[in-house]
Amino acid sequence: MTDIMNSARYALFVVSLVVCFASSARACGPKVEIRFFESSDGDLFEVINRSQEPWLISSITIYLSGSSGGLIFDTASGGSGASMHAPLEIVSGDVGFMGASPVEDGSEIVSLQFSRFLPGMKFLFAVDVDDRLGDSEFGQAVISGPELEGARASAELQMKSGRKARAKGSFGDNGEAKLGDGGLCV
């Protein structure tokens, strides 16, 4: 009987600890979202810092290789892409944009650097993206979410203390990539 009572007390203790810590847990790791929007004036990428703690995004890299549509950046007239082209252009976001890697026509990678991309902030940039499918749903110049699926992205983040982290993710068939999971802290 004493063993049963001790086991019951121990179980109650463990349950109360779990409830206590679960209720005080919060997201604290780096978390970034990237969304793709098809546009006739140059396709749009929106980057959102969703981190709960003060993680600053120092760089974002988007890798189109591996996408189901065989996507490329179409930045020059008469180049690898279909019809209209559009070089990389900053649309909005006061996040301390410092620069981007050269986006050559037909390339599959772009990297952007920032100095003050704080949690809650958004950054929007335009660049034409085309697919290389012979039978794409809307033609090679118009990208649908499923064609972006499999493309990847990564973010380098840093706290003022100097602590660094890297978040990675892949684009789904909805044209969105979620980098990092935010983690849990107690």
Fold classification of 28-180 is Immunoglobulin-like (2.60.40)
Residues 6+ apart with CB under 8 A from 109: 61, 62, 63, 64, 65, 101
Strands annotated E in 9-118: 26-27, 32-37, 44-49, 56-63, 72-73, 89-92, 97-100, 109-117
- Using an 8 Å Cβ cutoff, are 120 and 148 in contact? no
Q: What is the CA radius of gyration of the chain?
A: 22
CA angle 121, 173, 176 (to 5 degrees): 5
Note the pTM of the prediction, 2 decimals: 0.79
Q: How far is CA 140 from CA 70, 98, 137, 171, 180, in A?
A: 10, 31, 8, 19, 31
Residues 6+ apart with CB under 8 A from 79: 85, 105, 106
Cα dihedral 129→132→135→136 (10° resolution): -20
* pLDDT tens digits in sequence order for the chain, 186 residues long: 566 655 656 655 555 544 444 444 555 689 999 999 887 777 899 999 999 999 999 999 999 999 988 888 888 776 555 567 678 999 999 999 999 999 998 899 999 999 999 999 999 999 988 876 656 554 444 566 678 889 999 999 999 999 999 999 999 999 999 999 765 554
Segments making up each domain of the chain, as ranges: 28-180
- Give the side-chain half-sphere CA count within 13 A for 68: 17
